Structure 1
Amino acid sequence: MGEAIWINAKLYTGQRVIENGRMIVTENGTIRALGDELLPVPAHARVIDCNGALLMPGFIDVHVHGGNGYGMMEGTYEALDGISRFHARHGTTAFLATTSTAAKETIVRALRNAAETIGKTSGAELTGIHLEGPYLDEKRRGAQSKEHLRLPAADEIDEFTEAAGGHIRLVTLAPEIEGGMEAVERFASKGITVSAGHSDATMAQVEAAVRLGLSHTTHHFNGMSPLHHREPGLAGAGLMLEELTTELICDGIHVHPSVVKLLFEMKSPEKVCMITDAVSPAGLPDGEYGEVIVRSGEITLKNGSSLAGSSLTMLQALKNAIQYTGFPIEKVLPSMTIVPARQVRLDRVKGTLAPGKHADFVLLTPELDLLSTHVRGVEVFRSDND
């Protein structure tokens, strides 16, 4: 591949904006240097002229189940690679394959397959696993399988983490269920970020879980006890507790645009983690797909009782967040890059553009249309090749 220098870009490093920016990418796919037009062009380096395009860190999605007809729970390499290619077409450069509540053997198979596929996808890089369920509260289960919900047990937690080969980076559970607090502590002791979701927890229960290691909430406002003036619930706790970073599905369906603005203003972008929660039919035409129906981008169970994931992409989430909040790109961008990287302990190598970090980046037009997606310096999507 050789060393390359990207020139004439509006460079968003994740920490600052550099007009007429330049970035040098090494042969092994890391960033060697970045700066303005004074940064010299190395001898023998390929020179790529960005012609004024926006160059920014690639998006990191820590909560994605599928896309373009592929689902993580299929338990195959083809499914995970299909997910990676679909989301790379929308600016995602790294993701956590996310499970759903299912029979234990189905979850174990999906975990093993994901562990074997880490680093082998051809689109966005599969960097780990998000275990969502099966330790959820039935009252807030949403589209999660009622039949397979269960209480956490130490031996099963150990079996799941072993099947995943140590690659579980995030877990969603309901801390208030029997054994939930012990599960928070057990997962946290393994270095796994613990998130409260599909939970009916009270404020006091959330505070207790935070003391045991809880640090994240799953798709905030959705699938959780709501904010009430006499009981703040998990929704209120997420807004008020500094220790908690809140996930956000910014599609204008799961959370009203005004509430998106409220969340960003109350928590700050450094405590908001944008996700897609995309499921298998994301990117497909309207219609029925198994147990769900897709209508104008909204995905629900056939009986209409619950939303069932989303058809959102990270690029659309960026556009929506800018529109809903009125914030500039550089203020929203951390919620899609360094915040998710930090929350799942990838921030040493991903999340910002800086020397020594992976060259995971996207090129966008000034109108925020995607030109190309790059993972560790390799182009994995280009719009004119689509």
Structure 2
Amino acid sequence: MKSKSVITRFNNCYILRNSKIIKEDLWIRDGKIENPEQIFYEEQLEANVTVNCDNLLIAPGFIDIQINGACGVDFSYDSENVQNGINTVAKKLLEHGVTSFCPTLITSHPEKYRQILPKIKKTQGGKHGATVLGVHLEGPFISLEKKGAHLDEYIKTPEKGIETMRQVYGPLDDVVIVTLAPELPGAIEAIKDLTKEGIKVALGHSTAALAQGEEAIKNGANMITHLFNAMLPFHHRDPGLVGLLASTTDKQVYYGLISDGIHTHPAALRIACRANPEGLVLVSDAVAALGLADGRYRIGPQAVTVLDGRAYISGTDVLCGSTTALDQCVQTFKKCIDCTPEYALEAASLHPARALGIDGRKGKLDFGYDADFIIMEPKTLNVLSTWIAGEQVYSKPK
């Protein structure tokens, strides 16, 4: 059967594989990355299509595990046009090299979850837009003291664990991440139950001490949401959730970082990277204003004002997400910490795939993996084209 499939060879290119950029061809068949030795020697076939890449760089597609919206769309607000909103953002993300993403809903009224969640389904990407991996629920089971841009009247405590969560959210069928504060009553039981359901738990919007964070990790949590933001600052006697970067737990802890040049100081980026390089996951945390001019927008139930590219809860100085796409975050991150392009690119592809437990099929250009990749300028890391399952789904206008 395979012999009848179209085989595409990308040559005259550099590819990111095993944390190294190497000069090597990339072979694609049936939406997967193929081993050329098998094609040549075992099947004795040749490529049907050859793409000359002119010494450009091919890297795995970006995976954005925290994004609230874009193009005027806020995933937590418009319950009447959910599918249109998802489609609009998914299409826009292709321009930024994002091949997979997790639409993120912030703290909302229970009725909003019941209206919106059933309409967001895990969806394979293509020319219509990036793959929807599943929903990231950020709140409402968070700390009032570290609510950030979340509305306090909707914040809740998971007193009965996952039972309370189901009462608020409804079915969790297409949920892949829940962000919660581990110090809340019932949170540890919720973490255990969510983990049993195959849902990843991220710690965030929290006043947790390090010991509480470690207890959460031991019981199944594996991520921290937007490190440094909406949590206790590092203190040498009790470093809080930030201390999980250097914790003695035997589990890899992944942590999101917003490297938009606003949310996290370059020195903080460097500290986190040096303390726990394998756990660093770049996220956009983008809001509805992504791709648009300064003005008035929304994030869930609250009004947002964007001034000079910074998004604030209207009438306050509280930041409420980013207006920067993930490809720009990668470029800013590389510049701020002066790392290799290999590391910056993997922080937005391999690392999020590992955090979600999908690194057996996404986040790499290894044989047998999904052929989700981007072709970039090697020096600037500007996205020139985006490919999902071996199909070109975006090309930068010339």
TM-score, scaled to structure 2: 0.89
One-letter amino acid of the counterpart of residue 382, structure 1: S
User: SS in structure 2 opposite 1:147?
Assistant: helix
Structure 1 residues 353, 220: closer, same or farther in 2, change over 3 A?
same
Distance 1:188 1:238 in 2: 21
User: SS in structure 2 opposite 1:371?
Assistant: strand
User: SS in structure 2 opposite 1:157?
Assistant: helix
One-letter amino acid of the counterpart of residue 184, structure 2: I
Matched, 1:135 2:148: no
Give the corresponding residue for 1:218: 225
Give the corresponding residue for 1:67: 70
Shift of 1:369: 1.6
Which of 108, 121, 124 pairs up with 1:119? 124
Give the corresponding residue for 1:182: 189
Shift of 1:158: 3.8
Matched, 1:13 2:14: no
One-letter amino acid of the counterpart of residue 260, structure 1: L
Shift of 1:331: 2.2
Distance 2:304 2:257 in 1: 22
Distance 1:345 1:163 in 2: 21
Mapped contact 2:245–2:275 kept (Cα < 8 A): no
Matched, 1:202 2:209: yes
User: SS in structure 2 opposite 1:351?
Assistant: coil
Give the corresponding residue for 2:292: 284
Q: Deviations over 1:273-321 (max 9, x none)?
A: 1111111111110122241111222111112241101112111111111
Mapped contact 2:100–2:125 kept (Cα < 8 A): no
Shift of 1:333: 2.2
Structure 1 gaps of 5+ residues are: none
Structure 1 residues 106, 162: closer, same or farther in 2, change over 3 A?
closer
Shift of 1:51: 0.5
Which of 90, 93, 107 pairs up with 1:84? 90
Q: Deviations over 1:325-384 (max 9, x none)?
A: 111111222211111111112111100001111100001112222110111112121101
Distance 1:120 1:355 in 2: 20
Mapped contact 2:182–2:212 kept (Cα < 8 A): yes
Mapped contact 2:204–2:230 kept (Cα < 8 A): yes
Mapped contact 1:14–1:57 kept (Cα < 8 A): no
User: SS in structure 2 opposite 1:63?
Assistant: strand
User: SS in structure 2 opposite 1:255?
Assistant: coil
Mapped contact 1:34–1:354 kept (Cα < 8 A): no
Q: Deviations over 1:144-168 (max 9, x none)?
A: 1211111114324345776242x22
Structure 1 runs of 4+ aligned residues shifted over 6 Å read 38-41
Give the corresponding residue for 1:373: 386
Structure 1 residues 14, 63: closer, same or farther in 2, change over 3 A?
farther
RMSD over aligned Cα, in angstroms? 2.2
Distance 2:44 2:285 in 1: 41
Mapped contact 1:34–1:355 kept (Cα < 8 A): no
Structure 2 gaps of 5+ residues are: none
One-letter amino acid of the counterpart of residue 109, structure 1: Q
Q: Deviations over 1:144-199 (max 9, x none)?
A: 1211111114324345776242x222110001012112211121121211111001
Mapped contact 1:225–1:234 kept (Cα < 8 A): yes
User: SS in structure 1 opposite 2:222?
Assistant: strand
Give the corresponding residue for 2:267: 258
Matched, 1:318 2:330: yes
Matched, 1:267 2:276: yes
Distance 2:34 2:377 in 1: 24
User: SS in structure 2 opposite 1:213?
Assistant: coil
Give the corresponding residue for 2:33: 31
One-letter amino acid of the counterpart of residue 277, structure 1: D
Shift of 1:44: 5.2
Structure 1 residues 277, 14: closer, same or farther in 2, change over 3 A?
farther
Shift of 1:49: 0.7
User: SS in structure 1 opposite 2:102?
Assistant: strand
Shift of 1:89: 0.8
Give the corresponding residue for 2:357: 345
User: SS in structure 2 opposite 1:289?
Assistant: strand
Mapped contact 2:107–2:150 kept (Cα < 8 A): yes
Matched, 1:3 2:15: no
Count of residue pairs brought into register by the alignment: 378
User: SS in structure 2 opposite 1:280?
Assistant: coil
Distance 1:143 1:34 in 2: 50
Q: Deviations over 1:103-144 (max 9, x none)?
A: 1121122221112x5226721111111111110101101001
Structure 1 residues 254, 47: closer, same or farther in 2, change over 3 A?
same
Mapped contact 2:166–2:172 kept (Cα < 8 A): no
Distance 1:350 1:237 in 2: 26
Distance 2:115 2:248 in 1: 36
User: SS in structure 2 opposite 1:363?
Assistant: strand
Give the percent of matched residue pairs that are identical in Structure 1 and Structure 2.
29
User: SS in structure 2 opposite 1:379?
Assistant: strand
Mapped contact 1:134–1:148 kept (Cα < 8 A): yes
Shift of 1:14: 4.6
Distance 1:31 1:298 in 2: 39
Task: Between 237-246 and 278-287, report the one with greater CA deviation.
Answer: 237-246
One-letter amino acid of the counterpart of residue 90, structure 1: H
